[in-house]
Structure 1
Amino acid sequence: MRRIRERDWLQAGVLLLVSALLIGCLLGFDHHEAERADTAVATGVAEKQRVSADELKVTFFDVEKSDAILIEQADFRMLVDTSFDDRADVILDYFSEHGIDTLDYLIITHFDKDHVGGADKILDAVKVKRVLEPDYTVDKKQYREYREAMMRNGIVPLSVTAVEHRKLGKASFAIYPPEQKQYSGNDNDMSLVISLRYGSQSFLLTGDSEMERIAELLTEPELNLKHTVLKVPHHGIKEKNSAAFLEQVHPETAVITCKNEWYVSRSVKKTLLCMDADLYLTCHGTVTCITDGNTMEILQE
């Protein structure tokens, strides 16, 4: 049997110790490098998702034939309408991906389920500082759930009965309430209408305004109808005064919230295209507008 000398034991021990130190260093290097890489990726994503202090971002979510519009300026955020109850996750997923846990404003244009349906889930998921709504009530399930969610979260909404002028960071917006307490049709004409302005760029959000409400907008003394971007009323359905309204707004860009392209009036599309407006339908994907107040970038995905 071979005899192991003391010197051999010493050399083997030194070799094992050096190997252990080397492996430890390598493992430590890999671990810390991985941590740094993860941090860099996370930071990069956060930087990419953060809205610049000098930018306004307006997102028209792809939520079928319903409305959900998020407005972001620096660290300020406003949500206009909340889609259907079963589509609220589209909004909440966006909030989660972009680190949004607070809304400065939630505006409900009117109480149809395709506008107020997801409100209870939004109110329960994030902090909402102020809720603005039209001045009427309905006896509908989604409306009752919206009311119950506000009670749970200690929120008292403001019913808009006169023109409201407010700020969202460096952006400004005005809310125009309906002029009547009741209309001949359904409650679409009860829609609050929002004019959002940032530098030379502007957005007109019209809810589901139909003929009577559109007639009011055409004669509203405080409202300059010319806007850069128009959220076309009532998912692109034609009214007798649609053409006159579209001509007055004369948008550079028009967004129609819809489930299918065939649902949109051909006459409405033709009028918009004849005035050289860029037309986007949310049935083809979420539409995002980003502006620095001078120029506008529009993305669809």
Structure 2
Amino acid sequence: MEVSVKKKVWPILMVLSIVLVLVSLLWRSTAKLAEENIGLNVVFIDVGKADSILVQTADFNMLVDTGTSEDAQAIRRILNQNNVEKLDYLVLTHLDKDHIGSTPYILENYEVKHIIQPEYEKDSEEHTAYLEALTKAGIEPVYLKQEGDIELGDGNRIHFYPPKKDSYEQSNDYSLVTSITYGDHSFLLTGDAEKERMEEIVEQISGAYTVVKIPHHGDYKKMLEEVLEKTSPEYCIVSTSEDNLEEKLTECLDNLAIPSYYTFNGTVIMRTDGKELTIIQ
């Protein structure tokens, strides 16, 4: 019986050709994704009336605040989508429940190298859970009392402005302020700064910012206008729920003609190569 080699070879060649095409397409897709991810990503996660912000470069991951304890899965989805397996820094702006709530989950499920926070204590279930999680993870936080930097290379950096005083009446006024500079663009993350802390911010910072995150979930304070005049932002971010949005705030932003993004409309992604800024919501 004569066996046709030609008939057997052709199907094999066709399969190999298809595999090679698929591999080529996958490689191109992966390369394109990697190219898109070069630069800085700042992701303002939709966690309702709370804060959680991912700051990411090609070889650096930092999470600023962790929302409430109910926001763990929302934060996890964003971290997974951005291929985050470990955090170089976890920054806790202050100790309110809507900023540290999911920290125990983060410490249990991700490798966290460093934690930065202001130095004070708060009598709450969330703070107790946080302290227990710290002990379990074996991490000693850095209690920031002086301004400090994280260098990102090529002149890019993250700068921290700690609260100036040892004691405040409002927990929000302990807010650690984060300033990010990447190429031509800059971001100011203000925590939940109230009037007293905003007065300090105006003294501490200098120059204009591309993006300012409005403090305290859009809770309007007259002092906010001075902060915005000092920073002259091109865009503002408000991390809040729709029912918490104050009309005075939207009027303020409209009067200053600042385009603004609200996280209750969905997570906001800001991506830059140092020159162009792309905004996705």
TM superposition score normalised by structure 1: 0.84
2:223 paired with 1:241 = yes
Q: 1:271 maps to which residue?
A: 252
2:233 paired with 1:258 = no
2:183 paired with 1:183 = no
Q: How many residues align?
A: 280
Query: Highest CA radius of gyration, 1 or 2?
Result: 1
Aligned-partner Cα distance in 2 for 1:39–1:51: 18
SS at match of 1:130: strand
Q: 1:48 maps to which residue?
A: 33
2:267 paired with 1:286 = yes
RMSD: 2.4
Aligned-partner Cα distance in 1 for 2:237–2:63: 16
Q: 1:153 maps to which residue?
A: 137
Aligned-partner Cα distance in 2 for 1:121–1:43: 35
Mapped contact 1:133–1:158 kept (Cα < 8 A): yes
Q: 1:5 maps to which residue?
A: none
Deviations 1:204-241 (A, max 9, x none): 00000111111111222xx2152110000101111131
Deviations 1:16-47 (A, max 9, x none): x549x846863785488458627844772574
Please list, as runs of the form range in 1=range in 2, the aligned pairs for 1:1-301 lying within 5 A after superposition: 10=1, 14=2, 17-18=3-4, 22=7, 26=11, 29-30=14-15, 33=18, 37=22, 40-41=25-26, 44-45=29-30, 47-48=32-33, 52-53=37-38, 55-170=39-154, 171-185=156-170, 187-220=171-204, 223-224=205-206, 226-260=208-242, 262-300=243-281
SS at match of 1:258: coil
Aligned-partner Cα distance in 2 for 1:145–1:47: 42
| Cα separation, partners in 2 of 1:295 and 1:47, compared to 1, 3 Å | closer
Aligned-partner Cα distance in 2 for 1:152–1:39: 45
* Percent of aligned positions that are identical: 33
TM superposition score normalised by structure 2: 0.89
How far the C-alpha of 1:295 sits from its partner, in A, is 2.5
Structure 2: where are the runs of 5+ without partners?
A: none
Mapped contact 1:242–1:268 kept (Cα < 8 A): no
Structure 1: where are the runs of 5+ without partners?
A: 1-9
SS at match of 1:104: strand
Deviations 1:162-218 (A, max 9, x none): 111221344301111112222233x11111001111122110000001111111112
Aligned-partner Cα distance in 1 for 2:23–2:133: 38
